[in-house]
Structure 1
Amino acid sequence: MDLEEFNKRIVVLRPTLMEAAKHMNGNDASAEDLVQEVMLKLWSMRQQLDRHPNPKALALNMLRHKTIDEQRHKQLEYGRPTAEPSSEETTRHVERQDELRLIGEIINRLPALQAQVLRLKDIEGYETEEIASITGASPENIRQCLSRARKTIRQEFIKMTIR
């Protein structure tokens, strides 16, 4: 990969990497350093990038590993552990997982067409017309199935969580 190709395929990922680094690290200066290190590493392996199926995923993965390495280094340097989630965050995460599991169970109990329409619309992001062509139902029927499925999920979820 020459400089021009590297600029077209890799350097354009820099804003994405910066956003991810800021999100992972929270420090703009440190995020810039991490992104720069990843870009240098990608440049040094530019010959292999031609054969890589997803350079963006590779760059983001490298950034994640660099961030983890930096956090470990800071932990060793300052002799204290890096921030761990609070018990409140952990509790909320567990509650969220339970809620998602319950919703999944409710969806599995819906009539087949309602479950399929709900998954296609809300999970996979299909438009009503696309769902109509996939299922063979009319767009009006799709909207009705979607409304009924959402109503059933809401009612069943409330019943299951009030106990």
Structure 2
Amino acid sequence: MELEEFNHKIVPLRKSLLDMARTWTEAHDYAEDAVQEVMLRLWSMRDRLDAHPNIRALAFTTLKNIERDHWRHLQIENISTSGKYQETTVATNPEDGDDMQLIRMIIEKLPPLQSKIFRMKEIEGYTKEEIIKITGCTDESLRQNLSRARKKIRAEFIRLQSR
């Protein structure tokens, strides 16, 4: 992949990646850094990108992995500075947890198709047409599954917050 093609295919993903990174972290500077890291990684593998079936998914997966690595690094840093490890899990104490972490836990417990469709639409930013192609479902079933997933997430979130 040459520079022009990279600029045409990859660089337009930057805004979506940045929006996603900003939802995962309050540190906007770090979100910028994470997206820049994604761009560098994609650039370094530009020779293999032409053969990749879904570059958008690769970019979002790379961002997710960078964010996960950063989170792990922060956890290790917290352990080393405090001298002890404090494990907090949303499942045992949701009121102490982060709302986003609670929502992630709820999404994981959805039926597989609803979870997949919700993640693709709301987290990874796929269009309806892309989701239909990937999952093979109809437009109507996509809307129904997405609606059901949102209702379940909302209801479970309210239930867990009221405890």
Instruction: Name the TM tier (shorter chain).
Output: 0.5 to 0.7
What letter corresponds to residue 17 of structure 1 in structure 2? Answer: L
The question of whether the paired residues in 2 share the 8 Å contact of 1:75 and 1:81 is answered with no
Higher relative contact order (CA 8 A, sep 6+): 2
What letter corresponds to residue 43 of structure 1 in structure 2? Answer: W
What letter corresponds to residue 5 of structure 2 in structure 1? Answer: E
The question of whether the paired residues in 2 share the 8 Å contact of 1:72 and 1:82 is answered with no
How large is the RMSD of aligned CA atoms in angstroms? 3.6
Q: Distance in 2 between matches of 1:57 and 1:4?
A: 21
Gaps of 5+ in 1: 101-118, 127-163
- Equivalences for residues 50-61 of structure 1 within 5 A: 50-61=50-61
Larger Rg: 1
What letter corresponds to residue 37 of structure 2 in structure 1? Answer: E
Q: State TM-score, norm by structure 2.
A: 0.54
- Equivalences for residues 66-145 of structure 1 within 5 A: 66-79=66-79, 84-85=89-90, 86-88=93-95, 123-125=141-143
The structure in which a higher percent of residues are helix is 1
Q: Distance in 2 between matches of 1:77 and 1:36?
A: 23
Structure 1 segments, 4+ long, off by >2 Å, are 80-86, 88-100, 119-126
- Equivalences for residues 14-53 of structure 1 within 5 A: 14-53=14-53
Q: Distance in 2 between matches of 1:36 and 1:44?
A: 12
Gaps of 5+ in 2: 80-84, 112-136, 145-163
**Share of identical aligned residues, percent?**
38
- Map of 1:157 onto structure 2: none
The question of whether the paired residues in 2 share the 8 Å contact of 1:71 and 1:82 is answered with no
Q: State TM-score, norm by structure 1.
A: 0.54
